[in-house]
Structure 1
Amino acid sequence: MSADLSPIDTAKFVAAKRASAFIESGMKVGLGTGSTAAWLVQCLGERVRNEGLSIKGVPTSSRTAELARNVGIDVISLDEARWLDITIDGADEFDGELNLIKGGGGALLQEKIVATASDRMVVIADPSKHVQTLGAFPLPVEVIPFGWQTTKALLEETITALDVLGDQITLRMNGDRAYVTDEGNHILDLHLKHIGNARQLALVLNQIPGVVENGLFIDICDIVVVGHGDGRVEIQDINEGTTEEDRIEFAETINLFSDLGE
């Protein structure tokens, strides 16, 4: 670990390192997308190289697939795997019931499909992702390109009747062009500020024509592993109703991403 690593990156690393301990040889593992999930993929690659860990990884984006192959993880498709032992991914927000907002990295559709095709979903995060009520982070909604402005208007009309505080909706951009997901869709970000009833909102959004999926993950996450900048880790298991603490020790001179130029 580089001595120059920021406290937030240290928190992401120790969460990923602790979560990697859930993985055993022979498992089929869903691999998330985003900066925190990238640490997890690298930690698993280290175990593949140093311990002979043998797993099948199902990535949730083309970016994760490339990273996983680079670190030596055997990558397969979800169709090949059919069902997974576990998925480990990051989150943009999580609340006390382990409901999530995901999709900041643009891969919410594949992430939700992979997570729901798993025996367990583990989220790795830093403390800033823990909120009392979801909604401060803009809620991503994946929509098909055809008629996306009509879909946006329908979303604007719908959310006015729901328990939210904000009503701004923006098309996610990639430079001067609309962002395009791995499935060729666009993302509308809903700036709701506060989501009073996440379960209701998730159901309502998916009824709107043109909406493919939304970034609310309700009753999907089983465990959250929260890393801290000092190496402490908290593990909350919603099914067992337990919270435990651990600490990850690491050498200051090791940089897990040095060989990948990240």
Structure 2
Amino acid sequence: MSDLSPADVAKRAAALRAAEFVEDGMRVGLGTGSTAAFLVRRLGERVRDEGLRLRCVPTSEATARLADEVGIEVVALDEVGWLDLTIDGADEADGELSLIKGGGGALLREKIVACASDRVVIIADGAKDVAALGAFPLPVEVIPFGWQATKRLIEEMLVGLDVGGREVVLRERGGAPFVTDEGNRILDLRLQRIGDARGLALRLNQIPGVVENGLFIDIADTLVLGFEDGRVEVRDLSGAQGTVPFRDADNVFSDLAD
């Protein structure tokens, strides 16, 4: 019936539910990653089938290409000035809607776009819901110049902090350093557990050479979690939450033949 893995079924379920928050005429920030890609494709369907008028700011070149392919109008953030809504994925989310993001390497643009939005909706599969942040390596974007010195400063800063590990690794792709859309590098901090995410975020951004870190604190307003059976759970900062099934289980797979 489908080539989607159980994890992708969950991601797609969350993306389809979050797409319902988008209304005609909105200025929308589009996230980066596999979950966000399901959202972009769904919004492309709505543009085509419903005549939905959107002006969208992508958080990466990959998202911009996909949005253009599916017929979504892509604009620069400076062109629209401010956004009504941003929908993006996350690598981890805790009960306070604090996040780790940046697994796709777009954390700088993602944070700028999210902070320039009236509302931020995070979409993820249920496995990203955690009691405490830190099992997923924390990405830190650094400039290329003197990155090894920056790495050493980060390692020294981590000594004495309430974290479970202190390994700092340069992210690579294909045997070469990973390069962000802004031409920077990514250091992945393998911390295992973060005791004080807010304090760590502030201290990281005080280190020379650090551009931004992947801790998103007090940014997300709503979390939409998808599950392998098609259920979707929506949580927001007010503490309200609810779990709803798809009206039609076939909806999870309805566009696979396109």
Q: 1:125 to 1:21 in 2, by over 3 A?
A: same
User: Separation in 2 of the partners of 1:222 and 1:229?
Assistant: 24
Residue deviations 1:14-57 (CA, integer Å, cap 9, x gap): 10000000000100000000000000001101111111111111
Whether 1:245 aligns to 2:243 is: yes
Aligned partner letter, 1:26: G
Corresponding residue for residue 92 of structure 1: 91
Structure 2 counterparts to residues 95-244 of structure 1, below 5 A? 95-238=94-237, 240-244=238-242
Q: 1:258 to 1:117 in 2, by over 3 A?
A: farther
User: Separation in 2 of the partners of 1:257 and 1:197?
Assistant: 42
User: Separation in 1 of the partners of 2:217 and 2:174?
Assistant: 32
Residues 230 and 252 in structure 2, CA contact (< 8 A), matched pair in contact too? no
**1:161: how far off?**
2.3
Aligned partner letter, 2:194: I
User: Separation in 2 of the partners of 1:258 and 1:223?
Assistant: 31
Structure 1 stretches of 5 or more lacking a match?
none
Residues 13 and 252 in structure 2, CA contact (< 8 A), matched pair in contact too? no
Corresponding residue for residue 17 of structure 2: 18
**1:162: how far off?**
1.2
User: Separation in 2 of the partners of 1:116 and 1:122?
Assistant: 12
Counterpart secondary structure, 2:200: helix
User: Separation in 2 of the partners of 1:225 and 1:254?
Assistant: 19
Residues 2 and 256 in structure 2, CA contact (< 8 A), matched pair in contact too? no
Residue deviations 1:82-107 (CA, integer Å, cap 9, x gap): 10000000000000000000000000
Residue deviations 1:105-124 (CA, integer Å, cap 9, x gap): 00000000000000010000
247-256 or 88-97, which deviates more: 247-256
Q: 1:149 to 1:222 in 2, by over 3 A?
A: same
**1:254: how far off?**
4.4
Residues 116 and 220 in structure 1, CA contact (< 8 A), matched pair in contact too? yes
157-166 or 210-219, which deviates more: 157-166
Identity among equivalent pairs (%): 63
**1:188: how far off?**
0.2
CA RMSD of aligned residues (A): 1.3
Counterpart secondary structure, 1:22: coil
What TM-score, normalized by structure 1, do the two folds share? 0.95
Counterpart secondary structure, 1:39: helix
Structure 2 counterparts to residues 59-98 of structure 1, below 5 A? 59-98=58-97
**1:252: how far off?**
6.6
Counterpart secondary structure, 1:142: strand
Q: 1:209 to 1:258 in 2, by over 3 A?
A: farther
Structure 2 stretches of 5 or more lacking a match?
none
What TM-score, normalized by structure 2, do the two folds share? 0.97
Counterpart secondary structure, 1:105: coil
**1:250: how far off?**
4.4
User: Separation in 2 of the partners of 1:66 and 1:83?
Assistant: 21
Whether 1:37 aligns to 2:3 is: no
Residues 42 and 257 in structure 1, CA contact (< 8 A), matched pair in contact too? no
Question: For this pair of structures, how many residues does the alignment match?
Answer: 257
Residues 172 and 178 in structure 2, CA contact (< 8 A), matched pair in contact too? yes
